[in-house]
Structure 1
Amino acid sequence: MSPYRWSPTPSPLSPRAQEERSDWDHVFRQWTTLLQQQFPEHLAYLVWDAPRIHALELVADEIMPQYPDWDPALAPVLRRAWINRLTGLGPLEDLLLDETVSDIMINGLDAYVEQGGQITPVAWPIHDVDEVADLARQLASRAGRQLTTENPLCDAILSDGSRIHLVLPPVSEVPEITIRRASGTPLSLEDYFRLGSLTEALWDDLRARVVARQNILVAGGAGTGKTSLLRLLATQIPDHERLVTIEDVRELNLTHRNTARLESRAQWPVHRLIIEALRMRPDRIIVGEVRGGEAWDLLEAMATGHPGSLSTVHSGGDALKAIKRLSRMAMYQTRPIQYDQIVAHALDTIDVVVNVERAADGHRHIRAVSEIVEGTIRSVWEFRS
């Protein structure tokens, strides 16, 4: 029995009521378009608290009179109906309000949540995939994106830090919604110590390597805390240095004063942004995650005057597997160069590999730290349970 309670299915509307709702649907869509154009920052949340609702009411009062044939007498009722539509996500509401839920995964009519590192199915009172597609489109609009059959993919970060990934047919068989809830305040160094994810001696070693401008690669699987650790390491970069961060979707949100933040788009992929970053007088380049041929551009940047750069790679196993994974991706950009040559180049360029993992109980921690000296990988630290 699911712990989540769902509202009962509403009674069918009369033909006249359906016609009136259709008319107001059109008006609501027009207002929403204006809101996205003029006040996009008020849309990008998963859950609204009272201050956010109040701020939305104020901008609604500015938007609504812009529509032709506006009747002020209807303002209170229509504003409430419109805001309910903007802020509500139907069957997702209870899941989003449950603070123990870290991830939500919707596969068409099937729903799953992750709580405490465990994924379990939950009741999902939707019986039509078109309703799921509508939810996906509504989530995309909160990120200022449009989700259509011609543009069926959306990967975005909302203002509250939550990450959404949305897929519509024909790319997927059914609408797919993946939500990673924002964890609130980023983990502090004290949090890492308290959770046992990091020891003080290991942190002293890693901090010294950041200050010494060693090139560091953080490797691990999905949900292992790569970005969180990368963010923590970046806090140790001296204030006088200039940083350029490059991400597919902005997650790092570094507080370093002299930081230029670049975010990739279809016409501006990460490998192109790394080239642009080299022209921005960076002391260090930080790539949120290397996923393709940009691995070669990052290695070149690290090797040619930008030591102390940081990045992550999706890779399980040990340091050598991470280096090999990075090298295989670099081949997408440099086909004339042999794989063994790229591996050797990576071993000459990367100074430190930090492997992170998530245990069966959901606990995330550093599994191993390795240094690379003259092309040889040497273990510095290993996790002991």
Structure 2
Amino acid sequence: MGTAAAVTGSGGGELKLSSLRKVFPPIKELIDDETVTEIMVVCARSGQVLVFFERRGVLHRLEARGVGPRDVERLIYSIARPLDVDPDVVPLGDGRLADGSRVALCLPPASQAPAVTIRRFSKVVMTGADLVAGGSLPQQVLDLLGATLAHGGNVLVAGGTGSGKTTLLNALIKMFPADRRIVVIEDTIELKVDQSNVLRLEARQLSGFDLTIRDMVKHALRQRPDHIVVGEIRGAEAQDVLQALNTGHGGSLTTIHANTAEDALSRLASCAMQAEDRLPWDVLCRGVASAFHLVVHQHRRPDGSRGVSELLRVNGYDSGGGEWKVDRLWRSPHAGGLADAAPVMPPLASGVSPGGKAVAVRAGAKPGDGAVEVDPEDRGTLPRPAAAGLPSPVVTEQFGRRKVVSEPPVDVPARDGSRAAAESRVVGYPDGEPVSGAAHEGGA
């Protein structure tokens, strides 16, 4: 069976997950149950076949009566053949079925017994509002992520396998404006993108060509992208992604496997070190710090549910101490931290008011139209969104002459040099209209 790089099978022929009902009856009910997201078929040493499945983040066990290892082998061949893969050649492989389901297959001698894992992706793409309502994404985190992307900042989504990275990435992609050009690069197509001006590049299709995912990242820059989305960074392509994001391609997204948000930064630099034309470690770390503005980490909670565990703002890299300079903006109590972090203002700013005061106005309104004064040090004075899951009204300032964000902005401290005043920020478009993005505590 082909290795991961050799299995092309982009559509799995005409084989759909539903086609496996008759091939392996024990999983028929699991296939029909759309709340089941993962199915694992394994053979015990005794020859007994066991089926494990995941429903709503929790693993369950099912005894597969009336079948044996030979039936599991028959299931493997039924999946592999439509992919134009011969299991007798290489005993490991993975592919994608016609309905988008992912399959991983193995046979002896690579494993002691035949095994199959099927991963099904939900047909329903959840929005930021859905994730907030379901308790997996805090409103204040959604606000800051949305504001960062809207103003050309880049976001790194980190977490372990099955932690909900793809779900969150899909929700963030939905926040891109409909008139923007989006280039999506994936090993295997999984992301759901509804916008019309989209170019999708799939690394799996490169089998047989002298091309790599690094070539895809470089090619993406020639396609006039407003947003670049890399489904997952695993290796040397990290260096090309860093170069792309450090040369003006803001408002972009990618994911990486990591244990914590801060570990994700080091792992990204480590991946870039795999490139033959790699840069020195310190240079790569500084590149990571300048490329990504926020790191959001996903984790699986003790009850099996998934959600955001931590949100970091990246301020730089200390080469002397070998440490990342970050601010922890939010940490979930499930992750052993405090849910109520320091007040979070919009991530980009062009100035601060002379008096250190800020006012809140509804998105699209002009400064002075129904403005309400807020205290940057008191989260309770920040305005709530119109509905749960929507960004909060912007926190801005009343200027006689309004400053506008056109270049990467710099925080300017107030006259007294106080930190509290320095955290009062203004965010605006060239036409002078404020945008959504202020964080707050709680939903509407």
1:330/1:342 contact within 8 Å kept: yes
Q: Deviations over 1:54-81 (max 9, x none)?
A: xxxxxxxxxxxxxxxxxxxxxxxxxxxx
Higher normalized helix content (fraction of residues)? 1
Quick check: 176-185 or 157-166, which moved more? 157-166
1:140 aligns with 2:111: no
**What is the Cα deviation at residue 342 of structure 1?**
1.7
Match of residue 378 from structure 2: none
Change (3 A) 1:301 1:168: farther
- One-letter amino acid of the structure 2 residue matched with residue 131 of structure 1: D
Structure 2 Cα separation of the partners of residues 47 and 131 of structure 1: 17
1:315/1:322 contact within 8 Å kept: yes
2:57/2:306 contact within 8 Å kept: no
Match of residue 241 from structure 2: 298
Structure 1 Cα separation of the partners of residues 76 and 60 of structure 2: 21
Structure 2 Cα separation of the partners of residues 336 and 373 of structure 1: 23
2:24 corresponds to which of 77, 89, 95: 89
5+ residue gaps, structure 1:
1-36, 49-84
Q: Deviations over 1:267-293 (max 9, x none)?
A: 443222112222222222211011111
**What is the Cα deviation at residue 179 of structure 1?**
1.0
Higher relative contact order (CA 8 A, sep 6+): 2
Q: Secondary structure in 1 aligned to 2:333?
A: coil
Match of residue 17 from structure 2: 46
**What is the Cα deviation at residue 191 of structure 1?**
2.0
What is the number of equivalent residue pairs in this alignment? 309
Change (3 A) 1:126 1:332: farther
Match of residue 311 from structure 1: 254
Structure 1 Cα separation of the partners of residues 307 and 21 of structure 2: 38
Match of residue 62 from structure 2: 122
Structure 1 Cα separation of the partners of residues 12 and 71 of structure 2: 26
1:264 corresponds to which of 193, 200, 203: 203
Structure 1 Cα separation of the partners of residues 309 and 179 of structure 2: 32
Match of residue 400 from structure 2: none
Structure 2 Cα separation of the partners of residues 255 and 153 of structure 1: 34
1:328 aligns with 2:263: no
TM-score with structure 2 setting the length? 0.64
**What is the Cα deviation at residue 202 of structure 1?**
2.4
Structure 2 Cα separation of the partners of residues 87 and 42 of structure 1: 18
Match of residue 348 from structure 1: 290
2:24/2:71 contact within 8 Å kept: no
Q: Secondary structure in 2 aligned to 1:146?
A: coil
1:168/1:174 contact within 8 Å kept: yes
Structure 2 Cα separation of the partners of residues 210 and 242 of structure 1: 14
Structure 2 Cα separation of the partners of residues 165 and 341 of structure 1: 37
Match of residue 242 from structure 1: 181
**What is the Cα deviation at residue 93 of structure 1?**
1.7
**What is the Cα deviation at residue 100 of structure 1?**
4.3
Quick check: 243-252 or 144-153, which moved more? 144-153
Quick check: 117-126 or 229-238, which moved more? 117-126
**What is the Cα deviation at residue 213 of structure 1?**
1.5
2:272/2:278 contact within 8 Å kept: no
Match of residue 383 from structure 1: 332
> Once the two structures are aligned, what percentage of the paired residues are identical?
34
Match of residue 397 from structure 2: none
Give me the CA root mean square deviation: 2.5
1:106 aligns with 2:41: yes
Quick check: 173-182 or 107-116, which moved more? 107-116
Change (3 A) 1:349 1:175: same
1:276 corresponds to which of 195, 219, 224: 219
1:174 aligns with 2:113: yes
TM-score with structure 1 setting the length? 0.73
**What is the Cα deviation at residue 198 of structure 1?**
1.7
2:144 corresponds to which of 205, 209, 214: 205
Q: Deviations over 1:96-124 (max 9, x none)?
A: 23444321112334432223423233212
Structure 2 Cα separation of the partners of residues 362 and 262 of structure 1: 33
Structure 2 Cα separation of the partners of residues 264 and 320 of structure 1: 28
Q: Secondary structure in 2 aligned to 1:246?
A: strand
Q: Secondary structure in 1 aligned to 2:232?
A: strand
Match of residue 55 from structure 1: none
